[in-house]
């Protein structure tokens, strides 16, 4: 069983066959999908979406690209949406200095405010960091390990990974680790203990080999998982079991939801 920890199933790339994509995911052992939001609109839609499928969960949050137009009231609405039993996390939130879509100072402010919200609600966060490692770590460190969460689509070094692990974070890899030029990312993967790893597609982007360049979808996680098993030199089934457990350890509301379903 596989827990897909980061998908954007509401992306327009899935408009013509979303139900098929979900069906294929289930057929391939993807038994839970965390649908990740990136602005107020997608957060609202994602919570509704998660409530239409037993195996789909949601996160709510404002991506650093979408910081323009942020209002304080947005935090109140995020809080309300985060109270839903299918909302597992605040995300994706963070910093992106690669694209210039939103001023750095605004990005930092919105990131910190959403971390505060997550802390107050006892929810984990899903962190996006692109070319902003130092500021991301500085802001996270200022919370004195009171933040639980995952660094998504990890692309940093083994050294930076150790800092994140020390902060108590999980680290998640996409299909990027299957690429030919992924040496640095593979070195980082080697440095991360099995009980701190998560799996994700970040679909519709980041398709693993041999599907690189095509639209990605949750079922393709099997290629990424195989690569992780190979790098970590662990049996595929044992790896999957561990990653499944990790996901429920971090996203505690998913465990509660599952237990409730089973007790009915
Ligand atoms: Ni994403």
Give the per-residue pLDDT at 13: 98
pLDDT at 202 over 80: yes
The total domain count for the chain is 1
CA of 173 to the centre of ligand 1 (A): 12
**pLDDT tens digit string along 207-264?**
999 999 999 999 999 999 999 999 999 999 999 999 999 999 999 999 999 999 889 8
State residue 210's pLDDT score. Answer: 95
How many whole angstroms separate alpha carbon 60 and alpha carbon 232? 32
Task: Determine how many CB atoms are found less than 10 A away from the CB of residue 68.
Answer: 11
Q: How confident is the model at residue 35 (pLDDT cuts 50, 70, 90)?
A: very high
Token pair in block for residue 120: 């107050």
Tell me the CA–centroid distance for residue 54 and ligand 1, in Å: 22
Find the domain containing 54 and state its range: 2-262
Using the mean position of ligand 1's atoms as its centre, give its distance from the Cα of residue 56 in Å: 16
Tell how far the Cα of 136 is from the centroid of ligand 1, in angstroms: 16
Q: What per-residue confidence (pLDDT) applies to 155?
A: 86
Q: Which of 117, 98, 14, 102 is nearest to 60 (CA)?
A: 117
* Spacing, Cα 52 to ligand 1 middle (Å): 21
Instruction: Check: CB of residue 219 under 8 Å from CB of residue 25.
Output: yes
Look at residue 244 in the predicted model and tell me its pLDDT.
97
Question: How far does the centroid of ligand 1 lie from the alpha carbon of residue 141, in Å?
Answer: 23
* Other Cβ atoms closer than 10 A to 135: 17
Give the per-residue pLDDT at 100. Answer: 77
Q: At 154, which CATH number?
A: 3.20.20.140
Distance 126 CA to ligand 1 centre (A): 9
Cβ atoms of 162 and 137 closer than 8 Å: no
Chain segment 45-71, per-residue pLDDT in tens:
999 999 999 999 999 999 999 998 899
pLDDT digits (tens, 9 = 90+) for 97-145: 998 789 999 999 999 999 999 999 999 999 999 999 999 999 999 999 9
Mark residue 254 as left, alpha or beta (left: phi above 0; alpha: psi -120 to 50; beta: remaining). Answer: alpha
Q: Separation of 183 CA from ligand 1 center, angstroms?
A: 22
């Amino acid at each position: 069983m596989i827990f897909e920890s980061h998908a954007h199933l509401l992306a327009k790339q899935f408009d013509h066959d979303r139900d098929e994509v979900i069906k294929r995911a289930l057929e391939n052992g993807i038994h839970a999908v965390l649908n990740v939001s990136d602005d107020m609109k997608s957060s609202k839609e994602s919570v509704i979406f998660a409530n239409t499928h037993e195996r789909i969960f949601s996160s709510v949050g404002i991506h650093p690209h979408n910081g323009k137009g942020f209002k304080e009231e947005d935090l109140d609405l995020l809080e309300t949406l985060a109270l839903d039993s299918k909302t597992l996390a605040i995300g994706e939130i963070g910093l992106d200095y690669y694209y210039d879509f939103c001023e750095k100072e605004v990005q930092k402010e919105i990131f910190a405010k959403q971390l505060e919200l997550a802390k107050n609600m006892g929810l984990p966060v899903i962190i996006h960091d692109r070319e902003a490692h130092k500021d991301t770590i500085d802001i996270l460190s200022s919370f004195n390990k009171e933040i639980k969460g995952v660094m998504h689509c990890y692309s940093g070094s083994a050294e930076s990974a150790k800092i994140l692990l020390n902060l108590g974070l999980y680290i998640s890899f996409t299909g990027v680790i299957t690429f030919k030029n992924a040496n640095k990312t593979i070195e980082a993967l080697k440095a991360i203990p099995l009980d701190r790893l998560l799996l994700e597609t970040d679909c519709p982007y980041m398709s693993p080999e041999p599907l690189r360049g095509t639209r990605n979808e949750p079922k393709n996680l099997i290629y990424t998982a195989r690569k992780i098993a190979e790098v970590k030199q662990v049996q595929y089934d044992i790896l999957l079991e561990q990653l499944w457990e990790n996901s429920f350890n971090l996203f505690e509301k998913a465990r509660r939801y599952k237990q409730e379903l089973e007790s009915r």
